[in-house]
Structure 1
Amino acid sequence: MPLPPQVDEPLRQHGRLRTADAHLAQSVVSEVYEPHTLEPARGEALDARLNAVQNGALTLGYLAYGAGATVVLPPSEHWYHVNITLFGGSRITRGDSLCGVTSAMAGAAILVPHHTQTIEWDSDTAQFALRVPRTDLESHLESLTSTRLSGPVDFDLVVDLNSSAGRGLLRCIEFVISEWDDDGILARHGNSRRHLESLTLTNLVLAAEGPHRAILDRGAESPVPDGLRLALDYVHDHARSLPTLADLTTAAGASARTLQNQFLRHVNRTPIQYIRDVRLRGTRDDLLHPDSSTVTVTDVATSWGFYNLGRFSSLYRELYGESPSETLRRSRT
């Protein structure tokens, strides 16, 4: 992992902020991550530093304030944040009562979208801050478990980075940092960034504790029926060609009624709803990782079978909290 912040900083070639001005620090960090309030400790001079990059849907950054500080993050409904403490320590409160502590290379805090969270930074604290869109993290967990989630995931507040899965998350973050710091091929090519994004999300949900563990464990104990698995594979392989229920019954070797029941039981969606979800995720992936500088929202939408662009934009905004054009614009900047 990186040396102390005064010697070497992760993502140092991607500096976004260096200031002693608390208002400027709050403004820039809010723009990169999410609106919040920042209150430096009385009598301590701020030395705020932020280096950040965008890897598809994920925002990755190194953040330090150089002073004790209190950050209050209100509910947003749109983002999860993972703060991996590299140096120093922090104290986190979620809602009215849930509290946790992180220390250097031993703990990471997970901030969820549906609660107010307060983070108190020690003066020597530096963190690797990861912002994940709610829809992307929950869609990834749904894909891993073949289970439809009904709401935000109440991850446990602190991830133990000394656990086997926690060490796996740290190794993943180290790899992502090194790719960006060294201008590696995985950081420079859109298709490769998909792998970095998927690797990061998988390690995160495996390292975190919380109610989602029951879904992961249930998936391991109760495998998806063979016919449903064949149907799911067919959807993912042929989503652009708009598969029908008849296509799925042929692929699965099962009746339409059986497939309907299995989809509802295991993924909490009808086959048609599941196909639409996969197509929407496909458009988001292509907008986050455009294969050329000239690709348009229309190009992406029609390639996934969305020909009513108004309806497509409405569905997309409802699911992802932003318009397709905003996603494409962000991926290019």
Structure 2
Amino acid sequence: MAVSFSRSSEPLQQHGRLRTCDVDVAQQVVAEVYEPHTLTPVDRKGLDARLNAVQLGGVTLGYLTYGTEAHIALPASEHWYHINITLAGSSLVTRENGERGTTRGMAHAAMLLPHRAQTIAWAADAAQFALKIPRADLEGHLATLTRTQIAGPIDFDLVIDLDSRAGKGLLRCIEFVRTEWDEEGILARNTDSRRQLESMLLTNLLVAAAGPHQELLQRTDETLRPSTLKSALDYIHDHAGDLPTSADLAAATGVSARTLQLHFLNNLGCTPSQYLRGIRLRGVRDELLYPRSAGTTVTDVASAYGFHNLGRFSSLYKSVYAESPSETLRRARSS
């Protein structure tokens, strides 16, 4: 995940919400985007607060830096989870129960819980991606993935290891979201695609964060109905154009996402998402081999099947069909 922190290329710069040296203004605007807190810079005159933020469904993603050492007191709210992904510098986070954790640039993120008061000490050079996720959304997503009722707040561990395999997956997901907005990609404009991206973000977060919820994610149903795989395959084929998520499949089949994944791997040798991608890829190829009109383009067809990053799509297509999508379309037209 390559991120530049120069003033001319900071993440989400086109979506600026705050540029100020005034402590009161900084506290007010950040509170409006996230939630009420107390901001105390060590050097009030050195403050250079900057916030760029976008909305992805119920999730708020913002790039935040204060330009000086600062302390933040965040009371319990009961409504939101906050995830501070440290991009540069460091921070020290303390929960009201005395638990403490340090985050460092591109190595850690801090998970702030809705039912705990927390304090954060920002280093002067700290810069973070700050996510705000409604409690109902994250807990509901976990419930759907695991087919389990979630009775209360999830007691995530304080620090997320971004060097782990799952942590790197979370970083890639965040970077993809950031790129779409910075480059005004189709995901930033398409409502259906935003829904899929939000689901992917929540899933990656739940997998990357440590805590007692991991037992739910890893649990598999002891009894698998013979019809489970068929139901999943039918749902994928019937809804491929809607880009169903792992949560959609879990809800449709009545088993956890983990159980469904193992069922696919044991019987088909692939995950549900890989199977869906294959269905979408074959749909694109059929459309290119038999174009509906003279005006058919690779971009239009790929986007219709949910492939919005054309560079990655072209590489994937060529690896499967030994020719580029444009070559397929050109050959179809010539014949």
TM-score interval (norm. to shorter): 0.5 to 0.7
Q: Distance in 1 between matches of 2:135 and 2:74?
A: 15
**Displacement, 1:222?**
3.8
Separation (CA, whole Å) in 1 of partners of 2:93 and 2:233: 41
Q: Distance in 1 between matches of 2:98 and 2:213?
A: 21
Query: Helix, strand or coil: the match of 2:3?
Result: coil
Distance, in Å, in 1 between the alignment partners of 2:38 and 2:64 is 15
SS in 1 for 2:100: strand
Percent identity between the two aligned chains: 56
Alpha-carbon distance in 2 for matches of 1:89, 1:98 = 17
**Does the residue aligned with 2:206 lie in a helix, a strand or coil?**
helix
Q: 1:38 is matched by which residue type in structure 2?
A: L
TM-score by length of 1: 0.67
For 1:194 and 1:203, the matched residues in 2 are separated by 14
Once the two structures are TM-superposed, the CA of residue 120 in structure 1 deviates from its matched residue by: 0.4
Specify every segment of 5 or more residues in structure 1 that has no aligned partner in the other structure, as ranges: 238-250, 253-258, 263-333
CA–CA distance in 2 between the matches of 1:120 and 1:222?
A: 46
- Partner residue, 1:56: 57
Amino acid at match of 1:64: T
CA RMSD in angstroms comes to 2.9
Partner of 1:188: 189
The answer for the alignment partner of 2:80 in structure 1 is 79
- Trace 1:241-252 onto structure 2 (pairs within 5 A): none
Question: Which of structures 1 and 2 has the bigger CA Rg?
Answer: 2
Partner residue in 1 for 2:166: 165
Q: Deviations over 1:85-133 (max 9, x none)?
A: 0010000001131000000000000101000010100000000011100
Distance 1:85 1:99 in 2: 16
**Partner residue, 1:107:** 108
1:37 equivalent to 2:33? Answer no
1:44 to 1:156, Cα distance in 2 relative to 1, 3 A: farther
Q: 3-state DSSP class of the match of 2:166?
A: helix
Secondary structure of 1:143's counterpart equals helix
The runs of 5 or more residues in structure 2 that have no matched partner are 239-251, 256-335
Change over 3 Å in CA distance of 1:195–1:18 after alignment to 2: same
Distance 2:99 2:24 in 1: 28
Cα distance in 2, alignment partners of residues 79 and 225 from structure 1: 37
Alpha carbons of structure 1 residues 233 and 27: separation in structure 2 relative to 1, 3 Å: farther
* 1:195 CA displacement: 1.1
Q: Following superposition of structure 1 onto structure 2, how do residues 4-23 of structure 1 map, counting pairs within 5 Å?
A: 4-23=5-24
Correspondence for 2:157:
156
Match of 1:139 in 2: 140
**Which position in structure 2 is the counterpart of 1:268?**
none
- Give, in angstroms, the shift of residue 83 of structure 1: 0.5
Query: What amino acid is aligned across from residue 199 of structure 2 in structure 1?
Result: S
Q: What is the CA distance between 1:150 and its match in structure 2?
A: 1.1
Shift of 1:196: 1.1
Give the C-alpha shift of residue 8 in structure 1. 1.9
Tell whether 2:67 aligns with 1:66.
yes
| Structure 1 residues 280-313: Cα deviation after superposition (integer angstroms, max 9, x where no partner) | xxxxxxxxxxxxxxxxxxxxxxxxxxxxxxxxxx
The 8 Å contact of residues 5 and 126 in structure 1, kept in 2 or not, is answered as no
Change (3 A) 1:117 1:170: same
Compared with structure 1, are the counterparts of its residues 223 and 147 closer, same or farther at alpha carbon in structure 2 (3 Å cutoff)?
A: farther
Deviation at 1:227, TM superposition (A): 7.4
